[in-house]
A and B are shown apart, each in its own frame.
Chain A
Amino acid sequence: MTTNDWPLWEVFVRSRRGLSHTHAGSLHAPDAELALRNARDLYTRRGEGVSIWVVPSAVITASSPDEKDPFFEPAADKPYRHPTFYEIPEGVQHL
């Protein structure tokens, strides 16, 4: 496999109606239309999806591992922020 200059795309697949799109992986493609088609071939071949999003990897801004503590640590000891005091009605999925 030769290297290529095609940009990288992140693929999000919605497995069925009512669920959100979930990150499935990434791939190379020359443009958005072909990225969609490549995603269809790579990630939905066994009936995994009803909808696909592709996003250029370059436009994603990600938090850095170095910032992990300031970002996430303070949330650990504040249980009153957690919505654990509600009763979940029966039959509600995916909450």
Chain B
Amino acid sequence: MTTPDTTAPETTAPDMTTAPADTTTVPAAAALALGDDALVLSHRLGEWAGHAPVLEEEVALANIALDLLGQARVLLSMAGDEDDLAYLREERAFRNLQLVEQPNGDFAHTIARQLYFSTYQHLLYDRLAAGDGPFAGLAAKAVKEVAYHRDHAEQWTLRLGDGTEISRERMRRACEALWRFTGEMFQPVDGVDVDWAGMEAAWLESVGQVLRRVTLSVPEGPRTGAWSAGAGRQGLHTEPFGRMLAEMQHLHRSHPGASW
């Protein structure tokens, strides 16, 4: 590999000039929910840095993480001070889906999480961009990034599912393991005006299509109800999330206000 550009990329927030200037019209709880999804998944993907199976894939995952971080910055800024929200909230105050806080696991787990989430995020942002709500500006800009994330996840799902016996088994296992976190994505979020039921149908159709292309069966376990997960939007999180937060926040909490 010759001199690819792997220096730390810029993490400045994209210039969302189209976002509404009057932030009082933004439903803060919704901005928090969407912003936390992006922030937490960004951090999880960032954990692959230095550990990804190949350098090229490490850069790809880092790129996705940085796209999400840019979205998170815009969304959290709509809800308050982005740094305070990211670094000073306790676990119970986060409103992200439990899906995005799940540990990376093996590469197949990360890809399954990406497939489930980026399909959802693409469908959601596509609908938000078409509307005229407070998130239309952000969504119009981010939907192109998210379309790429979805493509990345689908391409890898197909290759792992259709690869070796080991990759196929790992992909199957990962899809099964994360399935119970997928029902939560379609709990309506206050202030996000979309057809949630229609979006869920589109999501099931799309994910099912990808899995069937490599003859992986769509998991059959519960997605909602007593035995499934899903109260992240209410502030209840799974055990690994606390450890992730500790790592994400410890620098800021040890050196408040530090900058470079």
Contacts and interface: CB of A to CB of B under 8 A. Distances in A.
A interface secondary structure, majority: mixed
Interface residues of B, number: 19
B159 A34 contact: yes
A25 interface: yes
Contacts, number: 50
A10 to B, nearest CB: 9
Nearest to A2: B53
B1 interface: yes
Contacts of B5: 42-43, 45-46
A68 to B, nearest CB: 21
Nearest to A35: B56
A42 B59 contact: yes
A4 interface: yes
A41 B4 CA distance: 10
B53 A42 contact: no
B254 interface: no
A29 interface: yes
Interface string A9-39: 0000000000000000111111101100110
B74 to A, nearest CB: 19
Interface residues of A, number: 21
A29 B56 contact: yes
B152 interface: yes
B223 to A, nearest CB: 30
Contact of B4 (A31, A33, A43): A43
B155 A42 contact: no
A57 to B, nearest CB: 11
B25 interface: no
Contacts of A8: 1
Contacts of A25: 1-4
Interface in B155-174: 155, 159
A78 B6 CA distance: 44
Contact of A1 (B54, B152, B155): B54
A43 B5 CA distance: 7
Interface of B: 1-6, 9, 53-57, 59-60, 63, 151-152, 155, 159
15 contacts: A1-B54, A1-B55, A4-B53, A8-B1, A25-B3, A26-B2, A27-B56, A34-B159, A37-B60, A37-B155, A42-B56, A43-B4, A43-B5, A45-B5, A46-B5
Given A28-B55, A43-B5, 9 more contacts: A2-B54, A25-B2, A26-B2, A27-B1, A27-B56, A28-B1, A30-B159, A37-B151, A37-B155
Interface of A: 1-2, 4, 6, 8, 25-31, 33-34, 37-38, 41-43, 45-46
Of all A-B residue pairs in the complex, the 9 with the closest CB atoms, nearest first, are: A38-B56, A42-B4, A25-B2, A41-B60, A41-B63, A41-B59, A26-B2, A27-B56, A4-B54
